[in-house]
Structure 1
Amino acid sequence: MGASSSTQQNLISPEQRELESEAASTGALPILHKAFSKLTNPQTNVIPLVSLQEIFSFTYNNPTQETTSTIPECFPRLLVHLGQAVVDLFFRADKGGVTWIEFLRGYISCCGRKTVSTSLNNLYRLYALASAKAGNPSTLEFESDDADSKINGFLMPSDAFVLLWLCWVMSQSSSILGVSEGKTNLDIPDIKHLVLSAVVYCAEVGNDLNISDCSISSLEYRLPVGKFHMWALTTVPGLVQCLTQYLHDRLQKCAAVEDELGPSNLSIGEISLTEANDTYLLTCGRAWAISLTQRGKLSEEILKASFLRDGKGVLENLLYRSAIHGKGLSRFWSNIEGYHGPLLILISANSEDAHGCDGNVRRWVIGILTEQGFENRDVFYGNSGCLYSISPVFHVFSSSGKEKNFIYSHLHPAGRVYEPHPKPVGIAFGGTIGNERIFVDEDFARLTIRHHAVDKSYQPGPLVPNQGFLPLEALIAEVEVWGLAGGKAKEEQSAYKNREQLFTEQRRKVDLKTFGSWEDSPEKMMMDMVTDPNQVKRENR
């Protein structure tokens, strides 16, 4: 057997050996071996194109989304041609099918180690090819067939909508298939806040655009692909993983399934996002947008937070919601105390329009991502974090590295002692004491947002559209806190609360034996002092 193995190694070409080594560096070589063996025609030893296209294809029924917005007709057609576009773009057929070498080369060209810009270019190419096959050619132009070639052209806001929806479907296909198996429905999430973010960044929109009430389909702004590229890199860098994740997950599912694979049973319209989120601030679209700004386990936990429910239908990661637990710092503290891990805080507020006296009320949502739990301290603390403008326009402001005033959370002193210079009671993020960038008062009734010039901990930028330079005060409508450290952190918090409750009960108990005798009771001592405070008593020696 040793001689046979040595002979087989000698028959492998240097090209195949190099491709296998590169695939092994991504950790996907065993999966590729299994998938190729299951898809290969035994007679020709190649994968038929039809079989490979089925692996990367969708089937769908009447796509819907979180809101009542109309989904463009081109989107369902684009999904129909997604599998064919993936194969045509990355896999080259030879002798009636795809050989092992071409199968490796196709996977590496998409999922191999590449720069972020190259990965984004692959995403643009797939979108353009699928759109052309769907009968809706894009306005993107590629100078050559190379993955890192220059791209010209522009996207309309409606095109950006479809491109981002495509990224959502690809990034979540494995999770959807894992829970649905074709039996439930999936709504497309509302990502208007993401599209408006790209419009504001690329088209340099002024105050003439009514962001709150505008319709994406009616916007005529052109988004140059170069500026859109920069927006994706700076705002949602996680987009580059959507395509590679899609190919890897599809091949992994193929390698795991023992029976013959047919077209995917995924049905767009399957897990109802409106039912999953109800009226929570953390909708699926917002959770996905925030997850695109993070990496690794934290990104996964953010997205799972809006889906995971316990046996009673309550979202497991939800630690505090003012509509359920009540407003106020004490209610907030009783639900988040003892939780050690990353937290996502969402705040919905209403403010009057600062550009006129017409009484218009603006509604918006901001978010704060911390890497640790809250502590009762009268100074700022923390290691890192991010601020988010979530609705109506999405932006992220990560840590600047200049200061570390990330979190401030101060309760009233337990003993109510006199303080000559009392510190503010409430929670805050960024800035300094008295000039916080975000400050929530003790009653969770009012929110104050100051200009980013007062803050050196987070990157600059307006948290609210047309924020201005003066402090902005708003009425808080809702506050939510989501735990992102997994089930273990929640168990540790429960254990902490149980210990605190036990200590409280023990402190409340009174030892009646101590006061069982009248001679030893405090009441008799007081009575004796009142009767004759100057009475001379003999000291017992």
Structure 2
Amino acid sequence: MGASSSTGNPSPEEQELREQEGLASASLGLPLLRAAFSRSAGSLAETLSPPPAVFRSASSPAVPPHFHDLLARLGPAIASLFFSDLGSVGDAGWLGFLRGFNRCCARMPASQSLALLLRLYAAACVDAGVPCGLQLHPDEDGAGGEGKVVGELAPVDIAVLLWMCWVMAWSGSLPRISGGQGGGKGEPVVLPNVTHLVLSALVSAGAVTDDAGVWGWEVSGGGKGVKVQELTSWVLSTAAGLGSCLSRYVQEKFRSCAADPAEERFVSTSSMASCPPDVYLLTRGRAWAISLSLRNTLSEKFLSASVIGMDSEDLIYRSSVHGKGLSRFWSCVEGYKGPVLILLSAFSSGGGENVDVGQRWGIGVLTDEGLQNKDTFYGSSGFLFSTYPIFRMFPPSGKEKNFIYCHLHPQIRVYEAKPKPVDLAFGGTIGNERILLDEDFSKLTVRHHAVDKTYQHGSLIPNQGYLHVEASVLEVEVWGLGGETTRRQQDVYKKREDIFSEQRRKVDLKTFGNWEDSPEKMMMDMISDPNVVRREDR
């Protein structure tokens, strides 16, 4: 018989290497990881560090002085926590590199990913000498040596943690460039407002027990902290995207490190550093909050908006620009067959006892499809949001599908024994809508969640109570999220409708018969002199 190669049993090192490569390849390509390993040898902490920049906050609270020290220790903390057994440059080093990568980037439950993020935050605070309410308790059995994070975070610490996660997302979206941030001009990077997220965590944990106490609340005011278990519950229910911040950051850093330096282009980030002010209802902080709450492809769209702001071309309708009213609203959104985000800002001016009078609040609706003119509810999916002063997200309940109601007056008026209401609504049923915007866009009505089985339960307005809330509408915005292709299709639709409208307005006199022989002429004569005797032609 011919000679055959003997495979034999692989050694424990070879078997572990195969397992680690299999786990790593599910998150990032092995050739890319090989390139990142060879180029980051000896400088892994520097590779995993965010680009140097000056950060400031446009609103309360102000950025703490130790925030920049915390960011400076971010890369070394990741290297020491997850890549501590990184050996030499050879096979042993490659195996240690894979182990570290899989510790923080392998697929794992969301609660475990969040625990790794909290461990990183605690370690970075210790390295930077920053006071932190979290402590790392090693496991009693010593399994993995990871330990357990315990303690609680004060409101300011939650804001710093959220800002750290945003900086990780911000730096992961930048190309790796030389010369640091801001093109050497030293322009500060404006951090998004995270007050609504911090307040959401505190209310969820019971640190702010009175729901009406959110009006005028400030992070810098201090107060009771949030325990790790309570923070984990809030993240899993409201901001699940926080758990993936660490893995996304490490993967993007390795992608940037593995890129060919000859093919890299210098991209000045001064435009990103000096982001435009939040002039829309969709601020960068609210866009990031929505991004963290979603688990679909739209999350990337909102994440990009939180970094560089939304493209003004995606703004389909704004009441202060296009005018209030359902007809003006429809003239802007008609024909858009993509997901849209509708944001409403209202002012509680009524005399209701269940909501504080004189307070401004904001809510939003995210739909997976465009708006249609129907006299019934329709839709396949959607989300309700409370955007200000507290952030909350209400996904579909799966019980009913009354997601959207948008009905205008028909172009051809016909008699209706029971005419359908002309308004814009979300959830509930006709006559008991959860959110109702009248035809003039002047009054907004929000009802208790008990009338709605389409969206999950919860208060859209702080201290809402059981009675319905009527408020005056301040602003309405509609953002199209379908991209350039959807906008182009809407333009084609509008042009076609304009042609049809122009054809309807034109009257061809040649198509009409002689006026003297027309029935209209006879009817007009009878009306003018009904007593005249007319002989019937036989």
TM-score range, shorter chain: 0.7 to 0.9
Query: What RMSD in Å do the two structures reach over aligned CA positions?
Result: 3.3
1:210 to 213, 220, 230: 213
CA distance in structure 2 between the partners assigned to 1:419 and 1:103 by the alignment: 72
Aligned residue for 2:204? 201
Q: In the TM superposition, what whole-angstrom CA distance separates every residue of 1:494-530 from its partner, at most 9, and x where no partner exists?
A: 1111111111111222223335976677886667777
Give the equivalent residue in structure 1 for 2:191: 188
Corresponding position: 1:169 with 2:172: no
Indicate how the Cα distance of structure 1 residues 122 and 420 shifts in structure 2: closer, same or farther if over 3 A, else same.
same
Q: CA deviation at 1:149?
A: 4.4
Indicate how the Cα distance of structure 1 residues 99 and 480 shifts in structure 2: closer, same or farther if over 3 A, else same. same
- Match for residue 152 of structure 2? 154
Residue in structure 2 matched with residue 510 of structure 1 by the alignment: 507
Q: Judging changes above 3 Å, is the alpha-carbon distance between structure 1 residues 458 and 94 closer, same or farther for their aligned structure 2 residues? A: closer
Distance 1:175 1:94 in 2: 26
Letter in 1 for 2:96: E
User: Counterpart in 2 of 1:295?
Assistant: 295
| CA shift for structure 1 position 209 | 6.4
Task: Map residues 27-46 of structure 1 onto 2, 5 A cutoff.
Answer: 27-39=28-40
Change (3 A) 1:507 1:354: closer
Change (3 A) 1:148 1:386: farther
**Counterpart amino acid of 1:316?**
E
Match of residue 315, structure 2, among 308, 314, 318: 318
The 5-angstrom pairing of residues 334-349 of structure 1 reads 334-349=331-346
CA contact (8 A) 1:305 1:315 kept: no
Aligned mates of 1:303, 1:331 — CA distance in 2: 30
Letter in 1 for 2:39: K
Cα deviation, residue 37, structure 1: 2.5
TM-score (norm 2): 0.88
Residues 366-390 of structure 1 show CA distances to partners (whole Å, capped at 9, x for unaligned) of 0111111111112111112111111
AA at the equivalent of 2:49: S
With 62-71 and 438-447 compared, the bigger mean Cα shift is at 62-71
Matches within 5 A, 1:451-490: 451-490=448-487
1:394-426 CA deviation, whole Å, 9 max, x = no partner?
111111111111111111232333333222211
The more displaced of 114-123 and 414-423 is 414-423
Query: Aligned partner of 1:414: which letter?
Result: Q
Q: Which amino acid aligns with 2:170?
A: Q
Which residue identity does 1:442 align to in structure 2?
E
Distance 1:404 1:359, change over 3 A: closer
In the alignment, what sits opposite 2:19?
18
Report the TM-score when normalising by structure 1: 0.87
Give, in whole Å, the separation in 2 of the partners of 1:122 and 1:135.
20
Residue 75 of structure 1: aligned partner: 67
Once the two structures are superposed, the pairs formed by residues 56-205 of structure 1 within 5 Å of their partners are 56-67=48-59, 69-94=61-86, 99-144=93-138, 146=144, 149-177=147-175, 182-183=182-183, 186-205=189-208
Letter in 1 for 2:454: S
User: What are the superposed Cα offsets for residues 236-287 of structure 1, whole Å, 9 maximum, x if unpaired?
Assistant: 11111111110000100111132699xx9998995333x1x54100001100
The 3-state SS of whatever aligns with 1:196 is helix
CA separation of 1:209/1:128 partners in 2, compared to 1, >3 Å: closer, same or farther?
A: farther
Contact 1:20/1:104 (<8 A) preserved: yes
Q: Which amino acid aligns with 1:371?
A: D
Change (3 A) 1:448 1:527: closer
Cα deviation for residue 90 of structure 1 reads 0.7
Aligned residues: 518
**8 Å contact kept, 2:284–2:309:** no
1:530-541 matched pairs, under 5 angstroms: 534-537=534-537
Unaligned runs of 5+ in 1: 40-46
Contact 1:447 1:473 in 2 (8 A): yes
Unpaired runs of 5+ in structure 2?
A: none
Q: Is the 8 A contact 1:186 1:267 kept in 2?
A: no
Alignment of 1:351 onto 2:348: yes
Shift of 1:431: 1.1
- Alpha-carbon spacing, 1:267–1:523, altered in 2? closer, same or farther (3 Å): closer
Question: CA, structure 1 residues 299+6, in 2 after alignment: closer, same or farther (shift >3 Å)?
Answer: farther
Which residue of the partner structure matches residue 260 of structure 2?
A: 257
